[in-house]
Every structure is written in structure tokens, then in C-alpha cells.
Amino acid sequence: MAVNASAGAAFELKGRMAPFTVLQVGTAEIDAVLGQLDARLAQAPDFFAGMPLVVAPAEGVSLDGATLEALVGGLRERALLPVAASGLPAETAAVAGLGLIRNLEASRSGSGESGRRDTPARAAPGAARVVTQPVRSGQQVYARGGDLVVTAPVSAGAELMADGHIHVYDTLRGRALAGVQGDENARIFCQSLKAELIAIAGQYRLSDQIDAGLRDAPAMAWLRDGELELNAL
């Protein structure tokens, strides 16, 4: 078939480093992994649906091709999207139909001498989105390119998303996801923390992982050395 060169390039290959979630597998007993995963998914099923995953064994854990293939099949049955493996031979990843990411920690933390994580620059600041009405169950509010300010209650089952910070000057139930485009400097502030899920730049904490002393109290969430932190205000 003749190629029309004057039509321009039909595709480009661009190097991009996007945030991803690593599923670190702590045992080769796949039934145990999937069983515990089911319990976690039951708490926030909508948040995990379609999530791209990199599968990586913990130190001392060995995964052969058949075991990895069974795990990948189980993840896909649960609407997760395993796309690559790390810390495994290429031929093992290939058995499960996965790509391979080498030097995973270096790709996540940057290669500078200090080990500082490279933080994506925030998009050009835009006006904050201000919501003054209660956010009901099933509603999703997204502040694209800026911060989200809510001055009313957020119900269980609601979802707040922002490329920047999230401020809730009332009770925060439901889910709050700040820095959704990868901004690790984003923070979440609320007057009363009762959230089902808190997330910043892909790092998340579910309700049962939140210190009981922070429940029903003013709180702030942020990232420190790539880990999600929660403190009272």
C-alpha cells in the first residue's frame, strides 16, 4: 500500500512519566492476595475500577509465570488494569501479557543525589472552583486546573476532585482526591473529617486506615516523602 508522505506523521512516540499505582505482592499465595483485595475493593469500588497497576513482588517473594498469570487474571476479573510488572524477569512478565518496568524506584523517585522526588509542575493557576451547596451522594465535583473550595457538607458517596488543593469548610464524608494530575504539593483541608477515602497524587488512605483520633475533627492531608500524612488542625 502506498504511503502518502505529504499527509504528515500518522503517529508520534512521546516519553511521559505518569503517576501509577504499584501493587506490591507480599506472598505467592494468590488466593490470599485476592481475598484481601476483595475486602479493600468493597470499601471503595468506584475508586479502584479501571486503575492501572504495576505488579511488583515484595523483597523475598518469588512469582513464577503461572502464579503471575493467575494474579493478573484475578485483577482483571475485578475491573483492575495490570499493565506492567517490576522486579521480575522479562519472560515472566511476558507470560502474563505484561510489560516490564526496570528500576521502578528510580523512575518514581528521580535520579538526583538527594533522592528527591521530581514533582510535576502544577498547571497554570486558574480560579478556584467554589461550591456553596451541599454535595450529595452520587455527585462528583471536579476543579480542573485549580483548587476546590466547598463551604457546605459533603455526603457519603459523593466525590471531590481537584488538580490543586481541596478545602471543605464543613463535614467531609465521601471521597476527596487532590492533585489528581500528579501534583504532590496538593493538600486537603476540612473542618470535620469523616471521609471514606482521602487521596493526593494517587496516594490514598481509606476510612479504616484513618486514626480514630482524627475522626470528626479538623484535619489536613498532605504528602511527605511520597507518603500520605494526616494531621489535626
pLDDT string in tens for the chain (233-residue length) = 555 555 677 776 555 445 567 888 999 999 999 998 888 777 666 667 777 888 999 889 999 999 999 999 999 999 888 889 989 999 999 999 998 887 665 444 433 333 333 333 344 455 789 999 999 988 889 888 899 999 999 999 898 999 899 999 999 999 999 998 888 899 999 999 999 889 998 888 888 888 888 889 999 999 998 889 999 98
Asked if the domains 21-109 and 129-232 are classified in one and the same CATH topology, the answer is: no
Burial of 13 (0-12, 13-18, 19+ CB in 10 A): exposed
Task: Give the CA diameter of the chain.
Answer: 69
Q: What is the pLDDT of residue 152?
A: 95
Q: CATH number of the domain at 21-109, out of 3.30.70.260, 3.40.980.10, 1.10.357.10, 2.102.10.10?
A: 3.30.70.260
Q: What is the pLDDT of residue 108?
A: 44
Q: Give the amino acid at 126.
A: G
What stretches of 49-193 adopt beta strand conformation (E)? Answer: 52-57, 81-85, 99-100, 129-131, 140-143, 148-150, 159-162, 166-172, 175-178, 188-193
Q: List the domain boundaries for the chain.
A: 21-109, 129-232
Class of domain 129-232: mainly beta
106/40 Cα distance (integer angstroms): 28
Q: What is the pLDDT of residue 119?
A: 38
140/134 Cα distance (integer angstroms): 12
- Secondary structure of 17-59 in HEC code, one letter for each residue: CCCCEEEEECCCCHHHHHHHHHHHHHHCHHHHCCCEEEEEECC
